[in-house]
């Protein structure tokens, strides 16, 4: 199947690790040039070197970006990516996270810090990239949300509103950008094996008063497909949503959670 991705240009936030790193690897395998945006520049540079050695024709650039620093940091970062790669066709807003804990455990300032990254950083990144996406013939915006946006609760009360906000802006922008030929979709990972999975296992063990092994078994038992989601599971769907075949998919949000979410998505 020709995904029509060869030679396109993607910007990926949160490219340094976890899901964003896996998405970058998967897009590179389809011949997509990459702007790798992150705070941890050493990790982004390591990824860029890995990609260049695997795909010698691939163009990459590493752009330092702390989304908490707002438009003053985001605007020049987008411009740096455009200058280095000459445009952008695919924007993957992946950076984010949420403080793990109950309401009374979350420091007040953490609400503002995490919201500054997602959904606020994602909104600002999209706004700054928009003039360039408008010039693309296969423009895509893919927002990494989370299943807690539709099923709040669990050990991070913050995940719900952060990911719900991401779903809401995804739908609103799909409507607004449809006439421009830009699709906007969200992916909702369930608990995924990144650094965040380790945090989840630890807090589950603490809250249930069980060992790490028992907490892991408990979390995996909740997944009908019987294993934890891995970053490559999210990356595969991202590649598809970026492809020509997904041209008529917009304003939707797709769970990648092994069936863990109990309600109708």
Q: Which residue in 146, 155, 160, 165 binds ligand NAP (CB under 6 A)?
A: 146
Shortest reach from residue 231's CB to ligand NAP, in Å: 6
Taking CB under 6 A as the binding criterion, the range among 76-84, 194-202, 217-225, 243-251 that sits at the site for ligand NAP is 194-202
96 lines the binding site for ligand NAP (CB under 6 A):
yes
Measured distance CA(82)–CA(95) in Å, rounded: 19
Q: Is 35 in the site for ligand NAP (CB under 6 A)?
A: no
* 255 touches ligand NAP by CB under 6 A: no
User: Among the candidate windows 17-25, 170-178, 219-227, 242-250, which touches ligand NAP by CB under 6 A?
Assistant: 17-25
Tell me the site size for ligand NAP, rule CB under 6 A.
29
Segments in the chain forming alpha helices (H): 18-29, 41-54, 71-85, 108-117, 120-133, 159-177, 195-208, 212-221, 231-242
Q: Which two tokens stand for residue 94?
A: 């992946």
We find the least distance from the C-beta atom of residue 255 to ligand NAP, in angstroms, to be: 10
Does 75 interact with ligand NAP (rule: CB under 6 A)?
no
Structure tokens at 201: 């296992």
Minimum distance of ligand NAP from residue 112's CB (angstroms): 12
CB 164 within 8 A of CB 150: yes
Distances (CA, A) of 234 to 71, 110, 138, 146, 249: 28, 26, 20, 11, 17
Alpha carbon distance, N-terminus to C-terminus of the chain: 28
Q: Does 94 bind ligand NAP (CB under 6 A)?
A: yes
Whole-angstrom distance, CA of residue 122 vs CA of residue 166: 8
| Binding of residue 123 to ligand NAP (CB under 6 A) | no
Q: Distance from CA of residue 224 to its chain's centroid?
A: 24
Binding site for ligand NAP (CB under 6 A): 13-14, 16-20, 38-40, 65-68, 94-97, 117-118, 144, 146, 189, 191-192, 194-197
């Amino acid at each position: 199947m020709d995904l029509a991705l060869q030679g396109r240009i993607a910007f990926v936030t949160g490219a340094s690790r976890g899901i964003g790193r896996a998405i970058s690897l998967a897009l590179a395998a389809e011949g997509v040039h990459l702007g790798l945006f992150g705070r941890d520049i050493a990790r982004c540079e390591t990824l860029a070197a890995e990609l260049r050695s695997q795909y010698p024709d691939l163009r990459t650039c590493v752009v330092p970006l702390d989304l908490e620093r707002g438009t003053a940091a985001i605007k020049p970062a987008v411009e740096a990516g455009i200058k280095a790669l000459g445009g952008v066709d695919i924007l993957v807003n992946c950076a984010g996270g949420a403080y793990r804990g109950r309401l009374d455990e979350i420091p007040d300032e953490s609400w503002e810090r995490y919201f500054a990254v997602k959904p606020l950083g994602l909104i600002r990144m999209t706004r700054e990239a928009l003039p360039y996406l408008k010039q693309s013939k296969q423009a895509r915006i893919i927002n990494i949300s989370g299943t807690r946006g539709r099923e709040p609760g669990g050990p991070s009360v913050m995940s719900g509103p952060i990911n719900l906000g991401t779903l809401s802006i995804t739908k609103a922008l799909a409507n607004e950008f449809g006439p421009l030929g830009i699709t906007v979709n969200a992916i909702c990972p369930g608990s995924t094996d990144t650094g965040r999975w380790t945090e989840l296992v630890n807090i589950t063990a603490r809250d249930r008063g069980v060992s790490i092994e028992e907490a892991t078994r408990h979390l995996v038992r909740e997944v009908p497909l019987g294993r934890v989601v891995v970053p490559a599971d999210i990356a595969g769907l991202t590649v598809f949503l970026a492809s020509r075949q997904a041209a008529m998919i917009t304003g939707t949000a797709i769970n990648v959670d092994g069936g863990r979410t109990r309600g109708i998505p």
